[in-house]
Amino acid sequence: MDVCVIGATLTRRDELLTFADEVKGFMPRNEGLALTSFGELETDQDLTKTWLEIGSWCGKSTIYLGAAAETVGAVLYSLDHHHGSEENQEGWEHFDPELVDPNDGRLNTLPSWQRTIGEAQLEATVVGLVGHSSVVARHFDQPLGLLFIDGGHGHDVAWADYEQWTPKVVRGGLLMIHDVFADPADGGRPPYEIFLAALSSGRFEAIGAEGSLRVLRAVR
């Protein structure tokens, strides 16, 4: 779908990336654009086109990855229990009262996420998986061509995501990890620890970085 704006043609890609700016979330634009650009490299016809992100929130990163998935003909599963992480709860740093469900007083990002994907017209490309990451992982056997880890950042949750999901990435596939900070002053340890674990496992090599985003490729 092309839209003409003051003489310039806004492509479908531009449109999606502009729309991502309006979506609530925790994905700086430069890092989001890196998600899109690395995803767009995945055109290898032999590699599985099943992708998965852990940590949907309101769909901001989902748009960046979804734009690439649409381009390369992949399907992106977007996994979240939609009740937020610890730091999103009332009294914590990243609490947003607008996201509380008045019926039960719980945080619920599913309606926002679903609206985001609908407005972006990405419903043929993006599929929501609502549940706890470790429960879904135990019942998800599909090999992944791309895995983006941006779920819970606590020690146990981040390590469970690493241990349960990274083995599903096929050789040649991409592993992306968000909120990787080498300096503890900049952020929590677990995403950095699992990034180091991926490197030292010998299964992955680092191929790119943008802000706190790290991109690795499975070499075996």
What is the DSSP code (8-state) at residue 107?
B
Q: Which of 81, 82, 178, 217 binds Mg ion (CB under 5 A)?
A: 178
Q: Which tokens sit at 159? A: 């390590």
Residue among 21, 95, 24 at smallest CA distance from 56: 24
Tell me which residue has its CB nearest to ligand SAH.
25
Shortest Å, Cβ 79 to ligand SAH: 6
Site for ligand SAH contains 140 (CB under 6 A): no
| CA torsion, ordered 25, 30, 32, 33, to nearest 10 deg | 150
Which is closer to Mg ion, CB of 214 or CB of 217? Answer: 214
Active site residue 132: no
CB of 207 to ligand SAH, least distance (A): 20
Residue 119: how many CB atoms within 10 A of its CB? 13
Q: Does 60 bind Mg ion (CB under 5 A)?
A: no
Distance CA 208, CA 213 (A): 8
- Say how far apart CA 105 and CA 100 lie, in whole Å: 6
Q: Show the binding pattern over residues 98-127: x = contacts Mg ion (CB under 5 A), - = does not.
A: ------------------------------
Q: For binding to ligand SAH (CB under 6 A), which residues are involved?
A: 25-27, 55, 57, 60-61, 79-85, 109, 132-133, 150-152, 157
* Positions marked catalytic: 153
